[in-house]
Amino acid sequence: MDLPCRWLFRMLLLVAACSGILFALYSVGRRSQEPRAPARSITSPPPFFEPKAPNSGNTKSQLCRHSLSLAIEKDHHFRGLFDLSTPVLLWGSLFTQDLWNNLSQHKVPYGWQGLSHKAIISTLRLLNNPESAELFGASKPRSCIRCAVVGNGGILNGSRQGQKIDAHDYVFRLNGAVIKGYELDVGTKTSFYGFTVNTMKNSLISYSKLGFTSVPQGQDLRYIFIPSSIREYLMLRSAILGVPVPEGPDKGDRPHTYFGPETSASKFKLLHPDFIRYLTQRFLKSKLIDTQFGDMYMPTTGALMLLTAVHTCDQVSAYGFITSNYQKYSDHYFDREMKPVIFYANHDLPLEAALWRGLHNAGILWLFQR
């Protein structure tokens, strides 16, 4: 789960306490409360693919027997929500005066209100190759793109899902994704690492003692920047230029210490703010938005990565995402001792849990549960 800035968290606690609002901010381990029950019954899941271990004879070239777009077509509710043609990534060619005008009307992470035109345009100019519009490059399988998205939930501890995860064409990870020591449970392959600069740096600070001492790196690995402030644009530009961050809270940071020596623009992808707004409005429209904390609300990094995969892959398996029995498990798979899941004020985990269950029951994704 994302860890907001400590001061922000304390401030929220304080404000919540002062205003007498019992927010969606509670330590679940100490209460018997269940998250809001999802509207849908979970008694009879439809037939669906279960990811196979690599030795099962499944080959990449096999046709998609259960493509998620077919499952969306068949589902009344989700058919009305999905727009698979919406651009997922932002890149240079999409930048126009019109886009600037539109996005300037929305605050981050859904827009550019108050952000520097110069910083944004100079970043997007570097993402000028059509490759920047695509998550998958030339290595893309022809017929069926199978993706695993690995959240950091405690359900993965002892799960022995590593082989199955690595058998997917692409593996998405995020934030404090510790691999060393957990290979049997979470696998080793990483195709995409998703983050905001805030969540990446907080993960390096908070989870370094638990083994997250560096961001995953590798030749075939791509980074997905989630724009949540000007920091992502500045870090992204500096990463491609191979220079220290020139200004802002990350001033002086050398991006290669996070992302390794390769600086090619194709290594870095940027989620489109319109995509984040579309996801939030259609799939994760939290009641928190209408409270005084509405400006803080954002889907979790895991939710954004999972929905990114659902909008770009043909089959998606979700590992380490919140399930209805989350109280049985620790917050993270890499925790050293049992730590209850914390529901931070800037996220809506019960809403996300209900969405994953709904998408699983509709056969649009496969959610790992135990």
Give the binding site for ligand NAG (CB under 6 A): 96, 98-99, 102, 154, 157-158, 330, 335, 337-338
Q: Please, what is the minimum distance in Å from the beta carbon of residue 103 to ligand NAG? A: 8
Distance set, CA 67 to CA 3, 46, 139, 171, 176 (Å)? 34, 14, 19, 17, 30
Nearer to ligand NAG, 161 or 330 (CB): 330
Q: Please, what is the minimum distance in Å from the beta carbon of residue 331 to ligand NAG? A: 8
Q: Please, what is the minimum distance in Å from the beta carbon of residue 116 to ligand NAG? A: 19
Nearer to ligand NAG, 66 or 106 (CB): 106
Q: Please, what is the minimum distance in Å from the beta carbon of residue 24 to ligand NAG? A: 24
- Count of C-beta atoms within a 10 Å radius of residue 145: 21
The answer to whether 89 and 134 have CB atoms below 8 angstroms apart is yes
What is the edge-to-edge ordering of all strands in the sheet holding 192-195?
Answer: 268-270, 222-225, 192-195, 170-174, 146-150, 315-319, 366-367
Q: Please, what is the minimum distance in Å from the beta carbon of residue 39 to ligand NAG? A: 31
Nearer to ligand NAG, 22 or 337 (CB): 337
Nearer to ligand NAG, 183 or 247 (CB): 183
- Output phi, psi for 304, to 5 deg: -65, -40
| Best CA proximity match to 345, nearest among 9, 49, 110 | 9
Nearer to ligand NAG, 50 or 337 (CB): 337
Q: Please, what is the minimum distance in Å from the beta carbon of residue 330 to ligand NAG? A: 4
- The answer for residues whose C-beta is within 8 angstroms of residue 7's C-beta and 6 or more apart is none
The answer to whether 161 and 319 have CB atoms below 8 angstroms apart is yes
Q: Please, what is the minimum distance in Å from the beta carbon of residue 22 to ligand NAG? A: 28
CA distance 343 to 145: 33
Nearer to ligand NAG, 86 or 324 (CB): 86
Nearer to ligand NAG, 283 or 333 (CB): 333
Distance set, CA 165 to CA 11, 160, 162, 368 (Å)? 39, 10, 5, 11
Distance set, CA 70 to CA 49, 55, 64, 353, 364 (Å)? 13, 27, 10, 23, 8
Q: Please, what is the minimum distance in Å from the beta carbon of residue 54 to ligand NAG? A: 23
Nearer to ligand NAG, 87 or 141 (CB): 87
Structure tokens at 111: 């827009």
Structure tokens at 333: 């798979």
Nearer to ligand NAG, 14 or 121 (CB): 121
- Count of C-beta atoms within a 10 Å radius of residue 7: 8
Output DSSP code: residue 25.
-
Please spell the DSSP secondary structure of 36-85, one letter per residue: PPPSS--SSPPP---PPPGGG---TTS--TT-HHHHHHH-HHHHTT--TT
Which residue has the closest beta carbon to ligand NAG?
158
Q: Please, what is the minimum distance in Å from the beta carbon of residue 95 to ligand NAG? A: 9
